[in-house]
Amino acid sequence: MVKNMKKFIAIILFWHAVMAVWAAEPRSPVRLAIIGLSHDAVGDFISRARTHADVQLVGIVEPNTALVRSYAQLLNLNTNFFYANLDSLLAKTDVQATAVFTTTFDHRSAVESCAAHKIDVMLEKPLAINMEDALAMAAAAKSNHIQVVVDYETSWYSSIGNAYTIVHKQRAVGDLRKFIFIAGDQGPKDAGCSDTFLEWLTNPVLNGGGALTDFGCYGADLITWFVDGRRPDSVFAESNKFKPEVYPKVEDEATIIITYPQLQGIVQASWNLPFPERSLQIYGNTGYVFAPRMDLLRLRLAGTEESELELQTQPEPGLATDDISYFAAVVRGEIKPAGPSSLQANLITTEILDAARKSIELGKPINLPKSAAWLDP
């Protein structure tokens, strides 16, 4: 019996050793494809993806041959790396995940195509041009068991991640009372966007609006995260065309007021700022926390003066240090999508933006229904 027990223990120790070696081995990179080259953010993303340990870039889908030639030259890629459609790419290689940089209008078709092939998707913000498309994408994802996440640069700001910890983990500023988020820049033309990007970004059909969609989505998404995914009671919005000669089809300025019980969110989206800005102010009933930049955080509590805080580098649970690491972890099943990148938060974000557009059209606040059938239980 002792001899058998020793043999049993030896087997257990052997398998522990095997498992330890296996666990120590580096994980295989996620096989990633790019869909679309019409969004200017794609160049930086491709450059990062080519050298990122978590992914292996296996191909780029883009039907526009002029864009293919341009990016092939810019990034020193062989044109054989590009495909006219997803099916052509899949006929050549296996794909686990895609990052989408099409027009916002084309997000739905991209997600539905990927869902049919059981491929996880990360979309450049925002999720969709309207709630109809957003719900169709959510249905496709659910029925085909894929993950859909939305990439916002603000999700990876250390200042905003730290602000979330201060508000939720430490409860340092008390109960939330006001949330102000300003996002914008000089406008896509003055900011130097490419002609391809400018053409669809200023098209109300392809973008769902102008500054309201382009930058309003940031604030609507972040406040949804900070209020733990609650839907607001009402939304009121106003918009302006300060530069109609430049952007005749869409608004270049918009303000959204999002009302919750005992909390007001104000989102200011602009194509009229002197430089790019993503600034956050959060007021509670006992203090405030400001994140004026991605690397700066200020705190003031009742009875004290404002102080600048040292940022903690450790990200919030469920987040990663960058979008590619996060998406790879989602695809591997190591992280369940949550927070500002999650599909659930972005369905609510789209609902807010839809209500804002309706409010602008009607000139009055839009009351949201108390419940929504699309919300996860």
Each residue's pLDDT tens digit, 258-308:
999 999 999 999 999 999 999 999 999 999 999 999 999 999 999 999 999
DSSP string, 285-313: SSEEEEEEETTEEEEEETTS--EEPPPP-
Structure tokens given for 95? 């794909």
Give CA separation, 44 vs 41, 50, 101, 188, 371, in Å. 6, 10, 12, 17, 40
Cβ(332)–Cβ(338) below 8 Å: no
* Conformational region of residue 277, where left means phi above 0, alpha means psi within -120 to 50, and beta covers everything else: beta
For the chain, 377 residues long, give each residue's pLDDT as a single digit of tens. 444 444 433 444 444 444 443 344 567 999 999 999 999 999 999 999 999 999 999 999 999 999 999 999 999 999 999 999 999 999 999 999 999 999 999 999 999 999 999 999 999 999 999 999 999 999 999 999 999 999 999 999 999 999 999 999 899 999 999 999 999 999 999 999 999 999 999 999 999 999 999 999 999 999 999 999 999 999 999 999 999 999 999 999 999 999 999 999 999 999 999 999 999 999 999 999 999 999 999 999 999 999 998 877 555 544 567 999 999 999 999 999 999 999 999 999 999 999 999 999 999 999 999 888 888 75
Pairing verdict, β 82-83 and 148-151: unpaired
Distance CA 95, CA 341 (A): 21
State the distance between the two ends of the chain, measured CA to CA, in whole angstroms. Answer: 54
Structure tokens given for 200? 């669809």
Query: What single letter denotes the amino acid at residue 13?
Result: L
pLDDT digit string (tens) for 59-79?
999 999 999 999 999 999 999
pLDDT at site 311: 79
Distance CA 358, CA 373 (A): 20
pTM for this one?
0.91
Q: Give per-residue burial for 364-375: e unless 16+ CB within 10 Å, then b.
A: ebbebeeeeeee
